[in-house]
A and B are shown apart, each in its own frame.
Chain A
Amino acid sequence: AQKVTQAQTEISVVEKEDVTLDCVYETRDTTYYLFWYKQPPSGELVFLIRRNSFDEQNEISGRYSWNFQKSTSSFNFTITASQVVDSAVYFCALSKHRGSTLGRLYFGRGTQLTVWP
């Protein structure tokens, strides 16, 4: 069974603070994919990153960085110097590499991030 846990329901920070969103996953598969999506108040889910299970390199994209650790089944997301525009719900998700449920995303329940000016 696939499961994604985002223990933080809501986080509030003040602009320019760094913030880390936690994601812990469960799967019996050896090959899988992990994703982060951002959902601003407008509603559209915006794809941020995909990580393959065999690639444990951390990634940085501007103010965003991701820390993937298979040993702890975690895929955490850090925003450096947060801005008001980062306010959104962030979803972590997992998908299988192969099988009948290929194409299904297993979402965490999301973390609402609010950045105050």
Chain B
Amino acid sequence: DTEVTQTPKHLVMGMTNKKSLKCEQHMGHRAMYWYKQKAKKPPELMFVYSYEKLSINESVPSRFSPECPNSSLLNLHLHALQPEDSALYLCASSQDPLAGDYNEQFFGPGTRLTVL
């Protein structure tokens, strides 16, 4: 099973709302990632979790708060977002970034977020 699932598929929220994006994988992967993708652009890395610890934060504003409750789950908590945060948010996982040989990332279908 090489599947990464994300919920919800679509999300519309106001600037004062609090919402969460969820990501799940059951491949036994130990690294999980959040990306943001604007239209006609490549994905931009936001956060990397390695063995459930935050290892990379690409200077993301604090209105985005990641959480990794266990090795299969990754959440992205959203609060006081701006309209320019509207984008496709992609989650990915890879086997073990510390193993030496790098492993490919498998992506979920994404959440299309619209901030009004």
Contacts and interface: CB of A to CB of B under 8 A. Distances in A.
A105 B37 CA distance: 13
Interface residues of B, number: 29
Interface residues of A, number: 25
A43 interface: yes
Contact of B106 (A47, A95, A96, A105): A47
Contacts of B25: none
* Majority secondary structure, A binding face: loop
30 contacts: A43-B90, A43-B112, A47-B106, A47-B107, A50-B102, A50-B103, A50-B104, A52-B101, A91-B42, A95-B102, A96-B102, A98-B100, A102-B97, A102-B98, A103-B31, A103-B33, A103-B48, A103-B50, A103-B55, A103-B56, A103-B94, A104-B45, A104-B56, A105-B43, A105-B45, A107-B42, A107-B43, A108-B42, A109-B42, A110-B40
